[in-house]
Chains A and B, each alone.
Chain A
Amino acid sequence: MAYGDKVIDHYENPRNVGTFGTQKEIKESKDIGVGLVGAPECGDVMQLQIKVNDDTGIIEDAKFKCFGCGSAIASSSLATEWLRGKTLDEGLDIKNTEIVEELSLPPVKIHCSVLAEDAIKAAISDYKEKHNA
């Protein structure tokens, strides 16, 4: 699999790797939304966490962890970069096709970008649920 330079760059220097705490701590933090998508048996699991300013609704920080191929790692790394500083609504506007374009993903790797979009949506909806509750 020959990858583009941007995938390799994200793979070798992934941005914003990490978590805002243990699974338990995260669950209890109201300002954090988590998206955990994919499945180990499919070879891709993405975990995306966003830290939202409750007053402004702006995503102040985003972190990821990813079990997956180079494209999956790059897609989730890129998603954290794009999410930082965005409002929740702007975050929801990120489309997988934009990720494909930015990273020049080959057709067999498009599902990685879909997964990243799913992770963004899941994280934002997790945050919203915590707040409506």
Chain B
Amino acid sequence: MGVTLPMYLDHAATTPCDPRVVEAMMPYFTEIFGNPGSRNHSFGWAAEDAVKKARQQVADIIGADSKEVIFTSGSTESNNIAIKGAANMYAKKPAGQTGRGHIISAIHEHKAVLDPCKRLEKEGFDVTYLEPGPDGLITREMVEGALRDDTILVTIMWANNELGTINEIPEIGELCHSKGVVFHTDATQWVGKMPVNVKTDNIDLLSLSGHKIYGPKGVGALYVRRRKPRIRLTALQEGGGQERGFRSGTLNVTGIVGLGKACELCAQSMDDERERLLELRNMLESMIEKELDVVQVNGHRDKRLANITNISFGFVEGESLMMAIKEIAVSSGSACTSASLEPSYVLKALGVGDDLAHSSLRLSFGRWTTKEQVEYAGNKIVEAVKKLRDLSPLYDMHNEGIDISKIEWAAH
């Protein structure tokens, strides 16, 4: 059975819109185009109704009250509002001073969390970046060990974007609540694939994004807890006071309608989809592990999202591997793709050696990924790795029993 090329296996980067999402959005471009802020005519009311419905759809997929959902442009913005907004609101000292409060995050978070944290460090906050073990997980125990009397915020992602590894979010949330510390989680990769109940999972702030869940790009949401405890935030963007004042600006009605529909569809199919994708991923990993030596699946083997796998192939370099499978769209932890010589900081955080970090691929499956596609990709990868190993001086050395780490390389 044939497959169509190029093939997309990079759903952790972005997903195509579900046609049902696009269909739901269409009327809001031209027919129902009103501004939901227009309170005094039917055009505004119609738009407001649409936003209200979407707000409920988003709330439903995370077990929130619709009043707790703030629409944003995506997870990056949600993270910025949550992290900077909470830090500034709960700061122990006013701006301009040091010792304004302590924040806990982790070194392998997404840049959209790390960079706001780094900004806050410049603004007088202390940040502890937790280091995961080789399994990539951040546990309650790690967070507990880092808590201080002046800790005001903990921000830990739910599932890692490069590895799919799953952190102990409900447990960390419980800890934070017992200590009166605000808890934010970037759930971009988690929402839509795994169940969420912000109440029982003890989450105060949660970021999610439309384009990772078959919705449109440029729209996302931030959950802001209203009760037990009521979370307050200093707004970053000022203006018309939309979204309870947390995020001024005319609402992106079409995007919001799309996000709502995307959440509704994910909620319907999540459980079946998870099982299906897990089977495909297991199939791929066993194909690769059966055919090749010196391969390593990165991150905790079981505590991972079903749709992501991150594999290092010893003695081959990531970019040339991507070139060999160029009709299959995947991500690489390799340096050369990013014009810098640094391999993935996420893999480094797990203690994956630089050589293996240079040779990793992230494959992420989605709603329309088929068994035929995964088989094709698996065969292609095996073939490519074999070809590149024929070219690799390091593989020769390995086979001759030479320990590559013992050679004195001249770093360049």
Which positions in A face B, CB cutoff 8 Å? 1, 3, 11, 14, 17, 19, 22-24, 36-47, 65-70, 72-73, 108-109, 111, 114-115, 118
Contact = CB atoms under 8 A, between A and B. Distances in A.
Interface stretch (B22-30, B156-164, B223-231, B336-344): B336-344
Q: Give the contact-size bracket for chain B.
A: 20 to 34
Nearest to A7: B323
Contacts of B402: 23
Interface in B366-412: 390-397, 400, 402, 404, 409-412
Contacts of B409: 38-42, 45
Contacts of A66: 391-393
A11 B316 CA distance: 14
Contact of B317 (A37, A67, A111): A67
B343 A43 contact: yes
A9 to B, nearest CB: 12
Contact of A43 (B335, B393, B404): B335
Contact of B400 (A1, A23, A72, A114): A23
A19 B391 CA distance: 10
Interface stretch (B141-149, B264-272, B353-361): B353-361
Contacts of A37: 410, 412
B319 interface: yes
Interface of B: 315-320, 323, 334-337, 339, 341, 343, 353-355, 358, 390-397, 400, 402, 404, 409-412
Given A3-B323, A17-B390, A39-B412, 20 more contacts: A23-B402, A24-B400, A40-B394, A41-B343, A41-B353, A42-B335, A42-B411, A43-B317, A43-B335, A44-B317, A45-B394, A65-B393, A65-B396, A67-B316, A67-B395, A69-B317, A69-B334, A70-B319, A70-B323, A108-B339
Contacts of B339: 108
B392 A67 contact: yes
Given A40-B404, A41-B411, A73 B391 contact: yes
Nearest to B411: A39
Closest 5 CB pairs of A and B: A41-B354, A39-B409, A40-B355, A47-B393, A65-B393
A111 B396 contact: no
B396 A70 contact: no
User: DSSP class of A's interface residues: helix, strand, loop or mixed?
Assistant: mixed
Contacts of A22: 396, 400
Given A38-B409, A70-B320, A65 B391 contact: yes
Nearest to A47: B393
Contacts of B358: 40-41, 43
Contact of B319 (A46, A69, A115, A118): A69
A45 B315 CA distance: 10
B10 to A, nearest CB: 16
23 contacts: A3-B323, A11-B320, A17-B391, A19-B396, A22-B396, A22-B400, A23-B397, A37-B410, A37-B412, A40-B409, A41-B343, A41-B355, A43-B334, A47-B393, A65-B392, A65-B393, A66-B391, A67-B395, A69-B319, A69-B336, A73-B320, A109-B336, A115-B412
Contacts of B412: 37-39, 42, 44, 111, 114-115, 118
A37 B400 CA distance: 19
